[in-house]
């Protein structure tokens, strides 16, 4: 996604077609999605607070997407028929099919239907529609953990808003999408807003862009009817400076009498509006807050199914998908993680296939030499066919994603480094949390003596400490002398005991 | 004469091999389980399937992360000549956003033969990078970003990482981000939104196993039989080498050496030393070379200092040790002399050294830095009154006394008693 994208309303629809894309996106063909219709309010998610909405707003949105109404009427039936007919088997050896599956599961592929976020999208859309109708300014704050579909939903809302505006006869608003990480200075955002609202006018050098905007919004507008401007500011917390002036001024722009801004801010912190914009509350212009909660297990499962629905073959065993959804929902509820784990599982299947083909090719050469050619060959071929991603693939993929490399690394450390970690654990058991290299050396030598291993000298020991601190297992302080550097343990004692429990000496030592 | 030249040539060949990481890591990369093949598979599938990916290479310093990465990139550039361009950044140099974007733009310009302007602003550079990513995506070219010292990029606001990983979230760009770090918890250092965009793939570089080590030694130290070096000499050299490698003592030497640091780089340093000790007369490696190399690497300089001390100096050191054990934290030359006198009296030692001779011995110890003064200011006071302390530990002193050529038994007894 380009950091700054100024979309002119008339080219909004033609944009996807003008730049030739190497992959045909499904979003090209259906400009407005059928989500308001295909997923009715009946579906209740246990987590999101669905606003009890009367029928009228939905039907109005229905009317507005009239061009696709026939298509969207067809699609629920089509989906139903899909689920009734059994799907074909997936052939992972076919590179085309593998590519299609991986594409469907990739994070950057925007799905045609954005499910599980209808409630939030409706709220934002209604807010924008109200602003455009009444030609009033307003501000909205969208918050939620990473990977919960905020930016994706805002894109969708933008498209829906354009459709609705053109259908309802209002002027389509200008849109400015900014990712605040791309700003060199936080106050540059005003320059960009000014550039968007008055593209042809040259900015006067005397007044800053902010002042210009403030003047603009305090005066009565030209009768030619200036359009509303929709500003979507992503990663809003990058605008937080020490004196919080920029953020404040940005939201204050919407409070001016003749302001034309609809401001939507996106960030992760839930209480950003309360903490950093206290003055707005006194003016009674606090932004509306829409929270995108982390996905629950059912939502993740639904989204994964949605992505796989268009493929004509079954790729995953249902238990595998459920395990993935459960694990990710319990950990963070981050959709990107779920997609990453699924792709990782697909790669496990690929690796297994390569391994078996290698074994097979070597074994079939053996067979050719040892036996006569009989009908055993096709049997062997059939035995190694893998056509779904099974539960064990998913288990391996999950463990790879969620396991920390610390235990593996400690187990593969050379002996003296392990003894040093062990002596650090014993030293810090008494309640002390840090010590010097000299003290550690004494403990280390005691342990070496008890194991009848010749200890290394102090020079080697300080270089071992440095190697361990580079890896993040210890933390080494600064000092002029090697011996008086302070040492703390960065790894949990339980991890070290668990990693070293296979060796009897350490087991006894750490008891 | 010809023989000497052959030997020299062989020695040069061995030494140049040890300094060339891509040669060293080749045998470790041949098995299908190795990090080389895993990395190659991930990158090549990203290139052929035109999807974005990110991966982290973790392992202690010197375990060959960059070497294996270079091997993979070299092979991929041969396999897909026009589909890959590589951008290299280092956390030590480019952790600041401005520097990073400038460097990325400069490398992209150099790669595609465009003119790079040093006056370009931060905005220009970042827009250029995004535009280039889009163009390369349309042209089916993958840009591989190699971020060395990845944990240093995770300091501050992590803007560079966020921009790179965010650009990879869109369909239009085709990029692979490879982070290389020695910190195991490098991905815990990332902010949560950067971590969410990172794909959590990690490749651990663990120390080589015993079989791998054996294969590595053979691969590096065996001379090629069909090169410019004379055939008979090479065959004889390899035969002798095989005998050494199979020797139990040699295996013990390697195990002792690798016990403190098991990375491949550490081993290479040892091999370089051992190879340099090769006797040019006989022209073959022997076990002695390896033993000498080990003892020279595992030096203990303070012990060697003690070996050169005189008996009187040893007496002074032992007296200072006893004072420390008696919990006298600050003592000076006078207190040491008192202790010495009391020992002499209690053990009825016959030698008697004058005061100024003892003082000179004390100054010798100061010069050799086996002891030092604890106060930094006082050049005013004379040597006898300034507080001093030992710079070697009691363990080292004991070891030094034990290995002294003719240490008086009394000193050993004194050390043993207190310790």
Q: Do A19 and B182 touch (CB under 8 A)?
A: no
Query: Residue B342 contacts by C-beta under 8 Å, 6 or more apart in sequence?
Result: none
Whole-angstrom Cα distance, residue A29 to residue A398? 35
Whether this model's ipTM surpasses 0.90 comes out as no
Q: Do B51 and A108 touch (CB under 8 A)?
A: yes
Q: Share the mean pLDDT of chain B.
A: 87
Residue B168: closest CA among chain A residues belongs to which residue? Answer: A108
3-state SS assignment for residue A366: helix
Residue A350: closest CA among chain B residues belongs to which residue? Answer: B41
3-state SS assignment for residue B84: strand
Residue A257 reports pLDDT greater than 50: yes
**Buried b / exposed e along B7-45 (16+ C-beta atoms within 10 A):** bebbbeebeebbeebeebbbbbbeeeebbbbbbbbbbbb
Residue A188: closest CA among chain B residues belongs to which residue? Answer: B123
User: Which of A34-38, A139-143, A307-311, B17-21 has the least mean pLDDT?
Assistant: A34-38
Q: How many residues does chain A have?
A: 511
Is the domain covering B303-417 a CATH 1.10.10.10 domain?
yes
* Test the A interface: residue of B33, B41, B51, B263 with most A CBs within 10 Å: B51
Q: Share the mean pLDDT of chain A.
A: 77
CA-based nearest distance A15→chain B, Å? 13
Chain B residue numbers touching A103 (CB-CB < 8 A): 49, 51
Domain spans in chain B, listed from the N-terminal domain onward: 2-16+209-297, 31-204, 303-417
Helical (H) or strand (E) element with B408: none
What does DSSP say about strands A434-436 and A288-292: parallel, antiparallel, or unpaired?
A: unpaired
Residue B169 reports pLDDT greater than 80: yes
Chain A residue numbers touching B258 (CB-CB < 8 A): 414
Q: Do A3 and B207 touch (CB under 8 A)?
A: no
CA-based torsion, A274, A275, A276, A280: positive or negative: positive
* Test the A interface: residue of B167, B184, B191, B267 with most A CBs within 10 Å: B184
Q: Summarize the confidence of residues B225-229 as an average pLDDT.
A: 80
Of A203 and B78, which is predicted with more confidence? B78
Q: Show which of residues 280-319 on chain B sit within 8 Å of chain A, judged by CB atoms.
A: 298, 300-301, 303
B44 near A CB under 8 A? no
Residue B260: closest CA among chain A residues belongs to which residue? Answer: A416
Residue B38: closest CA among chain A residues belongs to which residue? Answer: A351
Q: Do A457 and B61 touch (CB under 8 A)?
A: no
Helices (H), A176-285: 188-197, 209-218, 245-252, 272-276, 278-282
- Select from A344, A414, A459 the Cβ nearest to the Cβ of B259: A414
Residue A183: closest CA among chain B residues belongs to which residue? Answer: B123
Give me the CATH topology for the region B31-204. Rossmann fold (3.40.50)
Q: In the structure encoding, which two tokens stand for residue A327, read together?
A: 């694990």
Q: Summarize the confidence of residues A366-381 as an average pLDDT.
A: 56
CA-based nearest distance B344→chain A, Å? 31
Whole-angstrom Cα distance, residue B153 to residue B160? 8
How do residues A22-53 score in pLDDT, each as one tens digit?
444 444 344 333 333 433 444 333 443 444 43
Chain A residue numbers touching B261 (CB-CB < 8 A): 414, 417, 463-464, 467
Question: Which band of pLDDT confidence, cut at 50, 70 and 90, is reported for residue B177?
Answer: very high
Whole-angstrom Cα distance, residue A367 to residue A360? 10
User: Which of A15-29, A138-152, A170-184, B177-191 has the least mean pLDDT?
Assistant: A15-29
Nearest to A137 by CA among A223, A9, A231: A231
Residue B191: closest CA among chain A residues belongs to which residue? Answer: A146
CA-based nearest distance B59→chain A, Å? 7
Q: Do B184 and A25 touch (CB under 8 A)?
A: no
Nearest to A333 by CA among B166, B168, B201, B196: B196
How do residues B377-393 score in pLDDT, each as one tens digit?
766 778 888 888 888 88
pLDDT at B181: 94
Going by the DSSP 8-state scheme, the letter that residue B96 receives in this structure is: S
Q: Do A414 and B261 touch (CB under 8 A)?
A: yes
pLDDT at A75: 47
Q: Do B207 and A412 touch (CB under 8 A)?
A: yes
Q: Do A102 and B262 touch (CB under 8 A)?
A: no
How do residues B89-111 score in pLDDT, each as one tens digit?
999 999 888 899 999 999 999 98
3-state SS assignment for residue B83: coil
Chain A residue numbers touching B303 (CB-CB < 8 A): 457
pLDDT at A202: 65
Q: Summarize the confidence of residues A254-264 as an average pLDDT.
A: 85
| Cross-strand pairs, B390 | B371
CA-based nearest distance B277→chain A, Å? 23
Q: Do A458 and B137 touch (CB under 8 A)?
A: no
Q: Do A471 and B182 touch (CB under 8 A)?
A: yes
- Select from B192, B201, B260 the Cβ nearest to the Cβ of A414: B260
Q: Do B157 and A445 touch (CB under 8 A)?
A: no
End-to-end CA distance of chain A: 55
Residue A238 CA, distance from chain mean position: 18
């Amino acid at each position: 996604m380009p950091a700054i994208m100024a979309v002119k309303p008339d080219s909004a629809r033609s944009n996807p077609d003008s730049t030739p894309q190497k992959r045909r996106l499904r979003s090209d063909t259906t400009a407005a999605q059928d989500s308001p219709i295909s997923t009715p309010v009946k579906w209740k998610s246990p987590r999101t607070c669905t606003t009890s909405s009367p029928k009228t707003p939905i039907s109005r949105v229905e009317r507005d997407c009239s061009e696709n109404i026939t298509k969207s009427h067809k699609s629920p039936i089509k989906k139903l028929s899909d689920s009734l007919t059994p799907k074909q088997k997936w052939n992972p050896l076919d590179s085309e099919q593998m590519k299609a599956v991986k594409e469907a599961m990739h994070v950057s592929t925007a799905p045609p239907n954005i499910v599980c976020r209808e409630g939030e999208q409706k709220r934002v859309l209604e807010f924008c529609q109200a602003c455009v109708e009444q030609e009033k300014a307003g501000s909205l704050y969208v918050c939620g953990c990473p990977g919960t579909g905020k930016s994706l939903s805002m894109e969708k809302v933008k498209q829906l808003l354009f459709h609705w505006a053109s259908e309802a006869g209002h002027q389509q608003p200008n849109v400015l999408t900014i990712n605040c990480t791309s700003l060199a200075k936080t106050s540059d955002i005003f320059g960009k807003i000014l550039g968007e609202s008055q593209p042809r006018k040259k900015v006067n050098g005397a007044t800053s862009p902010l002042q210009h905007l403030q003047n603009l919004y305090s005066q009565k507008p030209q009768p030619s009817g200036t359009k509303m401007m929709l500003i979507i500011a992503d990663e809003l917390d990058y605008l937080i400076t020490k004196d919080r002036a920029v953020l404040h001024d940005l939201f204050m722009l919407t409070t001016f009498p003749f302001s034309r801004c609809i401001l939507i801010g996106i960030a992760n912190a839930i209480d950003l509006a309360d903490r950093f914009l206290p003055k707005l509350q006194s003016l009674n212009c606090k932004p509306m807050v829409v929270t995108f909660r982390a996905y629950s297990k059912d939502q993740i499962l639904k989204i994964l199914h949605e992505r796989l629905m268009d493929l004509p073959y079954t790729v995953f065993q249902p238990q595998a998908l459920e395990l993935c959804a459960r694990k990710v929902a319990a950990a963070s509820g981050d959709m990107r993680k779920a997609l990453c784990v699924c792709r990782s599982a697909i790669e496990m299947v690929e690796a297994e296939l390569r391994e078996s083909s290698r074994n097979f090719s070597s074994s079939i050469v053996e067979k050719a030499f040892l036996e006569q050619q009989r009908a055993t060959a096709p049997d062997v071929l059939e035995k190694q066919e893998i056509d779904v991603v099974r539960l064990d693939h998913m288990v391996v993929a999950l463990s790879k994603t969620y396991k920390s490399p610390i235990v593996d690394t400690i187990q593969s450390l050379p002996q003296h480094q392990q003894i040093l970690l062990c002596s650090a654990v014993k030293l810090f058991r008494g309640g002390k949390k840090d010590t010097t290299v000299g003290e550690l050396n004494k403990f280390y030598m005691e342990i070496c003596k008890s194991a009848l291993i010749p200890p290394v000298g102090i020079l080697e020991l300080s270089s071992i400490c440095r190697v361990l601190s580079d890896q993040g297992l210890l933390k080494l302080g600064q000092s002029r002398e090697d011996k008086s550097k302070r040492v703390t343990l960065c790894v949990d004692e339980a991890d070290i005991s668990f990693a070293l429990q296979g060796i009897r000496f350490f087991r006894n030592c750490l008891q | 004469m010809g023989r000497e030249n052959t030997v020299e040539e062989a020695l040069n060949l061995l030494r140049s091999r040890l300094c060339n990481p891509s040669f060293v890591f080749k045998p470790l990369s041949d098995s299908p389980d190795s990090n080389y093949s895993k990395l190659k598979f991930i990158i090549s599938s990203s290139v052929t399937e035109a999807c974005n990916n990110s991966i982290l290479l973790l392992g202690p310093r010197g375990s060959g992360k960059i070497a294996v990465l270079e091997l993979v990139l070299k092979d991929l550039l041969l396999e897909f000549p026009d589909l890959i361009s590589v951008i290299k950044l280092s956390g030590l140099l480019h952790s600041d956003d401005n520097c990073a974007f400038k460097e990325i733009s400069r490398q992209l310009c150099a790669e595609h033969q465009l003119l790079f302007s040093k006056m370009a602003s931060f905005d220009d550079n970042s827009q250029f990078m995004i535009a280039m990513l889009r163009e390369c995506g349309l042209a089916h070219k993958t840009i591989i970003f190699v971020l060395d010292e990845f944990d240093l990029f995770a300091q501050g606001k992590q803007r560079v990482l966020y921009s790179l990983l965010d650009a990879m979230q869109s369909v239009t760009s085709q990029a692979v981000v490879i982070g290389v770090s020695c910190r195991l918890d490098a991905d815990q250092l990332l902010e949560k939104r950067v971590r969410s965009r990172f794909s959590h793939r990690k490749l651990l570089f663990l120390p080589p196993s015993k079989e791998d080590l054996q294969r590595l030694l053979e691969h590096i130290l065996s001379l090629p039989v069909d090169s410019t070096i004379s055939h008979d000499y090479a065959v004889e050299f390899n035969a002798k080498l095989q005998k050494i490698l199979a020797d139990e003592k040699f295996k013990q030497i390697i195990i002792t050496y690798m016990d403190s640091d098991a990375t491949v780089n550490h081993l290479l340093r040892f091999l370089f030393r051992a190879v340099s000790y090769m006797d040019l007369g006989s022209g073959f490696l022997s076990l002695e070379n390896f033993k000498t190399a080990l003892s020279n690497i595992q030096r203990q300089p303070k012990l060697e200092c003690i070996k050169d001390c005189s008996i009187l100096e040893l007496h002074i050191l032992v007296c200072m040790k006893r004072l420390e054990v008696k919990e006298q934290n600050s003592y000076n030359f006078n207190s040491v002399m008192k202790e010495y006198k009391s020992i002499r009296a209690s053990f009825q030692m016959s030698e008697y050294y004058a005061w100024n001779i003892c003082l000179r011995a004390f100054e010798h110890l100061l010069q050799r830095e086996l002891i030092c003064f604890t106060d930094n200011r006082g050049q005013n006071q004379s040597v006898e009154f300034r507080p001093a302390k030992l710079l070697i530990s009691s363990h080292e002193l004991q070891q030094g006394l034990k290995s002294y050529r003719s240490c008086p038994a009394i000193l050993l007894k004194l050390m043993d008693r207190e310790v």
